[in-house]
Amino acid sequence: MQYGDNTFGSSPSVLVDVAARNRVLRNTYALLALSMIPTVLGAWIGVRTGFSFFAGSPFIGLLVFFAVAFGFFFAIERFKNSGIGVLLLLGFTFFMGLMLSRLIGHVLGMANGAQLIMTAFGGTAAIFGVMATVATVSKRDFSGLGKWLFVGFLVILVAGIANIWLQMPALMLTISALAVLIFSAFILVDLQRVVTGGETNYVTATLSIYLSVYNVFSNLLAILGIVGGDRD
Protein backbone atom coordinates (compact mmCIF):
# COMPACT_ATOMS: atom_id res chain seq x y z
CA MET A 1 0.00 0.00 0.00
CA GLN A 2 1.31 3.48 -0.94
CA TYR A 3 0.31 6.97 0.14
CA GLY A 4 2.11 9.61 -1.94
CA ASP A 5 5.83 8.85 -1.74
CA ASN A 6 5.59 6.77 1.44
CA THR A 7 5.64 3.03 1.04
CA PHE A 8 4.30 0.92 3.90
CA GLY A 9 5.69 -2.55 4.20
CA SER A 10 8.98 -1.66 2.50
CA SER A 11 11.76 -4.16 3.05
CA PRO A 12 14.36 -3.32 5.73
CA SER A 13 17.08 -3.20 3.07
CA VAL A 14 15.24 -0.45 1.19
CA LEU A 15 14.76 1.58 4.35
CA VAL A 16 18.42 1.16 5.30
CA ASP A 17 19.47 2.21 1.80
CA VAL A 18 17.41 5.40 1.97
CA ALA A 19 18.72 6.17 5.45
CA ALA A 20 22.30 5.63 4.26
CA ARG A 21 21.84 8.00 1.31
CA ASN A 22 20.30 10.65 3.56
CA ARG A 23 23.17 10.29 6.01
CA VAL A 24 25.78 10.73 3.27
CA LEU A 25 23.91 13.80 2.00
CA ARG A 26 23.69 15.35 5.49
CA ASN A 27 27.36 14.68 6.18
CA THR A 28 28.31 16.12 2.80
CA TYR A 29 26.42 19.34 3.46
CA ALA A 30 27.89 19.61 6.96
CA LEU A 31 31.46 19.03 5.82
CA LEU A 32 30.99 21.41 2.89
CA ALA A 33 29.85 24.14 5.29
CA LEU A 34 32.77 23.39 7.61
CA SER A 35 35.22 23.60 4.72
CA MET A 36 34.32 27.25 4.22
CA ILE A 37 36.07 28.15 7.49
CA PRO A 38 39.63 27.13 6.48
CA THR A 39 38.97 28.57 3.01
CA VAL A 40 38.16 31.98 4.46
CA LEU A 41 41.08 31.72 6.88
CA GLY A 42 43.47 30.82 4.08
CA ALA A 43 42.19 33.68 1.93
CA TRP A 44 42.57 36.15 4.81
CA ILE A 45 46.13 35.04 5.56
CA GLY A 46 46.97 35.14 1.86
CA VAL A 47 45.68 38.70 1.49
CA ARG A 48 47.52 39.84 4.61
CA THR A 49 50.82 38.28 3.55
CA GLY A 50 50.58 38.89 -0.20
CA PHE A 51 50.85 35.15 -0.87
CA SER A 52 51.12 34.06 -4.50
CA PHE A 53 52.57 31.05 -6.31
CA PHE A 54 52.63 33.09 -9.48
CA ALA A 55 54.54 36.17 -8.32
CA GLY A 56 57.80 34.89 -9.81
CA SER A 57 57.56 32.40 -12.65
CA PRO A 58 53.93 31.65 -13.65
CA PHE A 59 54.99 28.29 -15.12
CA ILE A 60 56.81 27.15 -11.98
CA GLY A 61 53.95 28.44 -9.83
CA LEU A 62 51.46 26.45 -11.89
CA LEU A 63 53.51 23.27 -11.55
CA VAL A 64 53.78 23.75 -7.79
CA PHE A 65 50.04 24.33 -7.52
CA PHE A 66 49.21 21.17 -9.47
CA ALA A 67 51.73 19.15 -7.47
CA VAL A 68 50.25 20.26 -4.15
CA ALA A 69 46.64 19.91 -5.33
CA PHE A 70 47.08 16.42 -6.75
CA GLY A 71 49.03 15.41 -3.67
CA PHE A 72 46.02 16.39 -1.59
CA PHE A 73 43.67 14.54 -3.97
CA PHE A 74 45.69 11.34 -3.66
CA ALA A 75 45.94 11.57 0.12
CA ILE A 76 42.24 12.41 0.59
CA GLU A 77 41.23 9.45 -1.56
CA ARG A 78 43.64 7.21 0.35
CA PHE A 79 42.20 8.16 3.76
CA LYS A 80 38.61 8.97 2.76
CA ASN A 81 37.17 6.40 5.15
CA SER A 82 38.84 7.83 8.26
CA GLY A 83 39.06 11.07 10.20
CA ILE A 84 42.42 11.71 8.55
CA GLY A 85 40.59 12.16 5.26
CA VAL A 86 38.44 14.89 6.80
CA LEU A 87 41.52 16.68 8.18
CA LEU A 88 43.26 16.42 4.81
CA LEU A 89 40.18 17.83 3.10
CA LEU A 90 40.12 20.80 5.48
CA GLY A 91 43.85 21.30 4.89
CA PHE A 92 43.19 21.32 1.15
CA THR A 93 40.45 23.93 1.52
CA PHE A 94 42.87 26.11 3.50
CA PHE A 95 45.35 25.78 0.64
CA MET A 96 42.65 26.73 -1.86
CA GLY A 97 41.83 29.77 0.26
CA LEU A 98 45.47 30.81 -0.06
CA MET A 99 45.22 30.39 -3.82
CA LEU A 100 42.07 32.54 -3.88
CA SER A 101 43.73 35.36 -1.94
CA ARG A 102 45.39 36.93 -4.97
CA LEU A 103 42.03 37.46 -6.70
CA ILE A 104 40.37 38.65 -3.50
CA GLY A 105 43.23 41.05 -2.80
CA HIS A 106 42.90 42.45 -6.31
CA VAL A 107 39.15 42.95 -5.94
CA LEU A 108 39.51 44.48 -2.48
CA GLY A 109 41.77 47.07 -4.06
CA MET A 110 38.72 48.41 -5.90
CA ALA A 111 36.47 51.02 -4.35
CA ASN A 112 33.51 48.61 -4.34
CA GLY A 113 35.58 45.48 -3.74
CA ALA A 114 33.78 44.33 -0.59
CA GLN A 115 30.42 44.71 -2.34
CA LEU A 116 31.65 42.66 -5.31
CA ILE A 117 32.81 39.86 -3.01
CA MET A 118 29.45 39.75 -1.24
CA THR A 119 27.66 39.76 -4.61
CA ALA A 120 29.78 36.83 -5.81
CA PHE A 121 29.09 35.01 -2.55
CA GLY A 122 25.36 35.60 -2.88
CA GLY A 123 25.37 34.50 -6.51
CA THR A 124 27.25 31.32 -5.62
CA ALA A 125 24.82 30.55 -2.80
CA ALA A 126 21.87 31.09 -5.14
CA ILE A 127 23.36 28.81 -7.81
CA PHE A 128 24.08 26.13 -5.23
CA GLY A 129 20.53 26.38 -3.86
CA VAL A 130 19.00 26.00 -7.31
CA MET A 131 21.24 23.07 -8.25
CA ALA A 132 20.62 21.34 -4.91
CA THR A 133 16.87 21.71 -5.36
CA VAL A 134 16.92 20.35 -8.90
CA ALA A 135 19.19 17.46 -7.87
CA THR A 136 16.78 16.55 -5.07
CA VAL A 137 13.39 16.86 -6.77
CA SER A 138 14.09 16.15 -10.44
CA LYS A 139 13.43 12.66 -11.79
CA ARG A 140 15.74 13.26 -14.74
CA ASP A 141 19.13 11.53 -14.76
CA PHE A 142 21.88 14.13 -15.26
CA SER A 143 24.79 11.70 -15.01
CA GLY A 144 25.20 11.70 -18.79
CA LEU A 145 26.34 15.31 -18.63
CA GLY A 146 29.48 14.30 -16.77
CA LYS A 147 31.65 13.41 -19.75
CA TRP A 148 30.67 16.55 -21.65
CA LEU A 149 31.31 18.72 -18.63
CA PHE A 150 34.75 17.15 -18.25
CA VAL A 151 35.58 17.97 -21.87
CA GLY A 152 34.44 21.54 -21.27
CA PHE A 153 36.58 21.69 -18.14
CA LEU A 154 39.66 20.59 -20.11
CA VAL A 155 38.99 23.28 -22.72
CA ILE A 156 38.73 26.10 -20.20
CA LEU A 157 41.71 24.73 -18.27
CA VAL A 158 43.93 24.89 -21.36
CA ALA A 159 42.58 28.33 -22.26
CA GLY A 160 43.09 29.54 -18.68
CA ILE A 161 46.69 28.35 -18.61
CA ALA A 162 47.36 30.05 -21.95
CA ASN A 163 45.86 33.29 -20.66
CA ILE A 164 48.36 33.40 -17.79
CA TRP A 165 50.80 34.60 -20.44
CA LEU A 166 48.38 36.15 -22.95
CA GLN A 167 46.67 38.36 -20.33
CA MET A 168 43.64 39.03 -22.55
CA PRO A 169 40.69 40.45 -20.55
CA ALA A 170 38.16 39.37 -23.18
CA LEU A 171 39.45 35.80 -23.10
CA MET A 172 39.45 35.79 -19.31
CA LEU A 173 35.84 37.01 -19.27
CA THR A 174 34.81 34.28 -21.72
CA ILE A 175 36.63 31.59 -19.74
CA SER A 176 35.07 32.74 -16.47
CA ALA A 177 31.55 32.82 -17.94
CA LEU A 178 31.93 29.29 -19.33
CA ALA A 179 33.44 28.11 -16.03
CA VAL A 180 30.42 29.37 -14.07
CA LEU A 181 28.10 27.40 -16.36
CA ILE A 182 30.21 24.23 -16.36
CA PHE A 183 30.85 24.11 -12.63
CA SER A 184 27.23 24.94 -11.83
CA ALA A 185 26.28 21.88 -13.85
CA PHE A 186 28.96 19.87 -12.03
CA ILE A 187 27.28 20.78 -8.73
CA LEU A 188 24.01 19.39 -10.08
CA VAL A 189 25.60 16.15 -11.30
CA ASP A 190 27.62 15.56 -8.13
CA LEU A 191 24.73 16.29 -5.79
CA GLN A 192 22.37 14.05 -7.72
CA ARG A 193 24.93 11.24 -7.50
CA VAL A 194 24.81 11.56 -3.71
CA VAL A 195 21.00 11.79 -3.65
CA THR A 196 20.61 8.66 -5.77
CA GLY A 197 23.22 6.67 -3.87
CA GLY A 198 25.85 6.71 -6.62
CA GLU A 199 28.35 8.24 -4.19
CA THR A 200 28.50 6.66 -0.75
CA ASN A 201 31.52 8.44 0.75
CA TYR A 202 30.80 11.93 2.04
CA VAL A 203 34.46 13.00 2.01
CA THR A 204 34.79 12.24 -1.71
CA ALA A 205 31.42 13.86 -2.37
CA THR A 206 32.39 16.99 -0.45
CA LEU A 207 35.68 17.33 -2.33
CA SER A 208 33.94 17.19 -5.71
CA ILE A 209 31.21 19.64 -4.75
CA TYR A 210 33.65 21.96 -2.98
CA LEU A 211 35.79 22.27 -6.11
CA SER A 212 32.73 23.19 -8.16
CA VAL A 213 31.48 25.74 -5.61
CA TYR A 214 34.98 27.21 -5.33
CA ASN A 215 35.22 27.62 -9.09
CA VAL A 216 31.75 29.14 -9.39
CA PHE A 217 32.61 31.72 -6.73
CA SER A 218 36.08 32.57 -8.04
CA ASN A 219 34.89 32.95 -11.62
CA LEU A 220 31.86 35.00 -10.63
CA LEU A 221 34.19 37.25 -8.69
CA ALA A 222 36.54 37.52 -11.67
CA ILE A 223 33.63 38.52 -13.92
CA LEU A 224 32.39 41.11 -11.44
CA GLY A 225 35.91 42.48 -11.08
CA ILE A 226 36.18 42.93 -14.84
CA VAL A 227 32.75 44.35 -15.65
CA GLY A 228 31.72 45.97 -12.36
CA GLY A 229 34.92 46.98 -10.63
CA ASP A 230 35.16 50.63 -9.56
CA ARG A 231 38.83 51.63 -9.77
CA ASP A 232 38.29 55.27 -8.83
* 139-198 pLDDT, tens digit each: 899 989 989 999 999 999 999 988 888 888 899 999 999 999 999 999 999 999 999 988
Q: Supply the pTM of this predicted model.
A: 0.89
Q: Which amino acid is at 51?
A: F
188, 129 contact by CB (below 8 A) = no
* Contact indicator for 100, 42 with CB cutoff of 8 Å: yes
CA 43 to chain centre: 15
Q: Rounded to the nearest 10 degrees, what angle do helices 83-108 and 113-137 cross at?
A: 140
Q: Tell me: the pLDDT tens digits for 93-141?
A: 999 999 999 999 999 999 898 999 999 999 999 999 999 999 999 989 9
CA angle 121, 156, 74 (to 5 degrees): 80
> What local confidence, expressed as pLDDT, does residue 208 receive?
96
3-class DSSP assignment, residue 6:
strand
